[in-house]
Structure 1
Amino acid sequence: MTDLMPAAVHQPVTETWPTLARPRSNPVRRYGAATAIRLIARDLPATIHLDSNRSYGLGGPAMRVHRTAAFLDRLGQDAGSGFGEAYLAGDWDPEPGTDLADLLVPFAERFSNEETRHLLPKWAQSLRWLVTRSQPGEQENDRAGARENVSRHYDLSNAMFSEFLDPTLTYSSAYFGDAAAADLATASYDELTAAQLHKLDSILDAAGVRSGSRVLDIGCGWASLAIRAAQRGAWVTAITIASQQALLAQRRTAEAGVGDRVQVALRDYRDQIGEFDAVLSVEMIEAVGERYWPVYFDAIERRLAPGGVGVVQAIVMPHERMLATRNTFTWVQKYIFPGGLIPSIKVIEEVTAQHTGLRADVIRHLGADYARTLRIWRNRFVDQWPAIGALGFDDTFRRMWEFYLAYSEAGFRTGYLDDVQLLLTRR
């Protein structure tokens, strides 16, 4: 098998990225991966160029595999991570002129469409256990594990996040309203701050936050929501378990002139005490872990004062897909969010009903808004790469984040993922 590899093809430094070392060749696994590609591509509206004389798919967005043997070896070794790892390693790229997210959309559509959800026929699906990994025990989200998992992402570099997020440093879906459905090619960094403030205000409005309100922000990020609430006259306790994030959040509240109204604490949500009129948590549940979902919602209920309400913004996926993938070890868990698991709306409703006295009602869907947010972040990340690279990150890191942002965008564009705001009230 010949690999046609141009000189400019990316090659990772395996001393820095040991998980990207080329796997040992296994003819059986390689043959299985090649067979899977042929089966997947039979009705896939995309093109996979494996080498100079083998192309699969129905046309549309195209990818070029530079190192066919390595690509197939990675897919044959790990179904959950192999495709993404092959991109990090430089084994494949989108064809020139093809946007990475546009290429990933046809694959995501196969998962989101009920009739074509499974990429492989049933007989092939029965063999997936041979190439599927389980989540490692060291990613458990007890107090120590959660701190380590969260730190690996959110303490990566405050300066890096500052380069591609908008000035509010809000790292969750913005709320564009009707503009969310506009052509993504028109998505502009200039529109992001207003949309993020719109999202923050939508949460505070839903929670009834006003002057004098006592607010708890669980997983506060870099304090954009806490600052916005304090600017309304609220008293805010903002907690995170990412140490570098907490330091910057404290500085930002002081710079915003609300340091006297916001207490930023390095604290696990399980250790918080007190009563609050509003408990808010934006895109933090994805890092909690299935085992701790009842604990998380119980903590919210315990912190609510009589008459108080909670608002949770959560990334969700269809319930059946969550059940099918909850015990697998995915590329995102391995490289981006260790210990993470995306819930479904149904499981949130079940957990709150069975373990708390809370009722969870969806008040807003932001899936299209997240796709637009991610496109803006990715464009900005690429534009700012010279400054980000100067912080000490290499080209493999760049490919990892481009893939993560594009992969996520494709999920929201196809409905495989959604983002919802939930109102939590006592039954």
Structure 2
Amino acid sequence: MNAPVQDTARVAARGSGPLALFGRFFHRQLDRLDQGIDAGSLEVFTPDGQARLLGGSAAGPATTVTLRSWRALVRLATGGSAGWYEAWEKGEWSSPDPVQLFALFSHNRAGLAAQARARGLSLLPRRLMHWLRRNHRGGSRKNIAFHYDLGNDFYTPWLDPGMSYSSAIFRDADEALEAAQDTKLQAILDRTATRPGDTILEIGCGWGSFAELALRRGRKLHGITLSTEQKAWAEARTAGLEGARFTLTDYRDVDGQYDAVASIEMAEAVGREFWPAYVSAIARALKPGGRAALQVITFDDALFEGYARNVDFIQTYVFPGGMLLRESEFRALAEAEGLEWQERHAFGLDYAETLRRWRARFDAAAAEGLLPPQFDERFVRLWRYYLMYCEGGFRGGGIDVIQMTLVKRG
């Protein structure tokens, strides 16, 4: 297959320079990508004017990529997913639908895993930086502030009116985002099996969307967070409701016991090193027979060790210290603490749709000038890429989101 003449001339011109001499080497790299794609396809327009179809042997995600410089493949080979973002930011590759590209990589994660990971000398400084950002007590505060304390004015233009920054649960394709978020919150409350007058500990209370629902249903709630911005918002939205308390508290410092615990997409901010402490905090906080309702994002169990040894795009640029969960390992920790794992529900495609809705709202807010002026175009592009990257991961199945209930043995 050959690229159209006008595209060939334009792309070939961009491929000139020292790296163009190594064209055969880069085509061999594309050969390895081709061998790793079992389903779906990727049409690649290369800097030397060729058009190559990778994969295509079975149905799956399909898209095209234009490589404007071979340097993009250098960054992918050395920096993995973080390097691939760096190449995109520098204009070294483009695609009409990056979501499908990320879905393709996610769908073919077993065959392409090595291509998405940093290696060699590039990996060492990334791992050092990730280690320096680990979630000990001081690090947790810094990492949470890095992501959540960008300012409430940044998040309000593109989240739903309830300010839920976690996956919704859609009952049908046309359901409004706010209604789907309410469905998710109600599902978490139902899992606690609490009654009016009972007290719930919420670990990672966000902007208070679950707290408001629980309080309106007659529960009392202690919400803990490390984000000053979120704490202020949660207090303001629940000011007229009785039974609310919000504190800047590390989960490791929780004392006392509660009728139930809720934690929505908080575990991803803990880090593998501190999963035992997080699970232990839940177990200590629950009264015998109490239930913890959790919503967590998981990574493919079979490929987790490679992911854990790497430092990916999100850990590098968006959420320092973060790590998705290995479900089997997390479940074993919970059961060792006397917590029975019940009522698992996975809904990864709902997260993909949530992210698609967020991105549409984010793009509209950026176009209308509704984002705070301190965030420049490069920052806006980073967050657009982040939303596309995550959506593709869920669509491809490499990551998932689940709700489960942990019941403390009496």
CA-to-partner distance for each residue in 1:132-154, whole Å, 9 max, x for gaps? 44253211111000111111001
Q: 2:145 aligns with which of 128, 142, 151?
A: 151
Q: How does 1:9-408 map to 2 (within 5 A)?
A: 35-41=28-34, 43=37, 45-51=41-47, 53-58=49-54, 60-66=62-68, 68-94=69-95, 98-111=96-109, 117-119=110-112, 128-129=119-120, 131-133=122-124, 134=127, 136=129, 137-177=131-171, 179=172, 182=173, 191-254=176-239, 257-258=240-241, 260-354=242-336, 356-386=337-367, 387-408=369-390
* Contact preservation (8 Å) 1:32, 1:76: no
Please identify, of 368-377 and 84-93, the stretch whose mean Cα deviation from structure 2 is larger.
Answer: 84-93
Distance in 2 (alpha carbons) for counterparts of 1:151 and 1:28: 46
SS in 1 for 2:156: helix
Distance in 2 (alpha carbons) for counterparts of 1:126 and 1:403: 18
Distance in 1 (alpha carbons) for counterparts of 2:75 and 2:202: 41
* Contact preservation (8 Å) 1:278, 1:310: yes
CA-to-partner distance for each residue in 1:322-348, whole Å, 9 max, x for gaps? 122112111110011111111122111
SS in 2 for 1:418: strand
Structure 1 residues 120 and 271, CA gap change in structure 2 (3 angstroms): closer
Structure 1 residues 3 and 204, CA gap change in structure 2 (3 angstroms): farther
TM-score, structure 2 length as denominator? 0.86
CA-to-partner distance for each residue in 1:279-298, whole Å, 9 max, x for gaps? 01000100101111010010
Distance in 2 (alpha carbons) for counterparts of 1:238 and 1:34: 54
Distance in 1 (alpha carbons) for counterparts of 2:285 and 2:278: 11
Structure 1 residues 298 and 61, CA gap change in structure 2 (3 angstroms): same
Distance in 2 (alpha carbons) for counterparts of 1:390 and 1:263: 30
CA offset at residue 85 of structure 1? 1.5
Distance in 1 (alpha carbons) for counterparts of 2:117 and 2:294: 37
Amino acid at match of 1:414: G
* Contact preservation (8 Å) 1:30, 1:72: no
Structure 1 residues 90 and 157, CA gap change in structure 2 (3 angstroms): farther
Distance in 1 (alpha carbons) for counterparts of 2:226 and 2:105: 35
Aligned to 1:21: none
Structure 1 residues 420 and 384, CA gap change in structure 2 (3 angstroms): same
Aligned to 1:16: none
* Contact preservation (8 Å) 2:286, 2:408: no
Distance in 2 (alpha carbons) for counterparts of 1:204 and 1:125: 38
* Contact preservation (8 Å) 2:80, 2:118: no
Structure 1 residues 168 and 72, CA gap change in structure 2 (3 angstroms): same
Amino acid at match of 1:342: L
TM-score, structure 1 length as denominator? 0.83
Amino acid at match of 2:205: C
CA-to-partner distance for each residue in 1:213-262, whole Å, 9 max, x for gaps? 101110010010011000011110011101122112211222xx32x321
Distance in 1 (alpha carbons) for counterparts of 2:23 and 2:229: 43
Structure 1 residues 143 and 215, CA gap change in structure 2 (3 angstroms): same
CA offset at residue 49 of structure 1? 1.8
SS in 1 for 2:309: coil
* Contact preservation (8 Å) 2:80, 2:116: no
CA offset at residue 83 of structure 1? 0.7
**Is 1:417 aligned to residue 399 of structure 2?**
yes
Distance in 2 (alpha carbons) for counterparts of 1:218 and 1:303: 10
* Contact preservation (8 Å) 1:40, 1:120: no
Amino acid at match of 2:146: R
* Contact preservation (8 Å) 2:102, 2:396: no
Distance in 1 (alpha carbons) for counterparts of 2:311 and 2:23: 20
* Contact preservation (8 Å) 1:135, 1:328: no
Distance in 1 (alpha carbons) for counterparts of 2:156 and 2:166: 14
Distance in 2 (alpha carbons) for counterparts of 1:331 and 1:125: 10
Aligned to 1:19: none
Amino acid at match of 2:33: I
**Is 1:426 aligned to residue 404 of structure 2?**
no
SS in 2 for 1:81: helix
Aligned to 1:20: none
CA offset at residue 33 of structure 1? 5.7
Distance in 1 (alpha carbons) for counterparts of 2:376 and 2:204: 29
SS in 1 for 2:46: strand
CA offset at residue 264 of structure 1? 1.3
SS in 1 for 2:150: coil
Amino acid at match of 1:37: L
Aligned to 2:4: none
Q: RMSD in angstroms over aligned alpha carbons?
A: 2.8
Distance in 2 (alpha carbons) for counterparts of 1:375 and 1:125: 23
Percent identity of the aligned residues?
A: 34
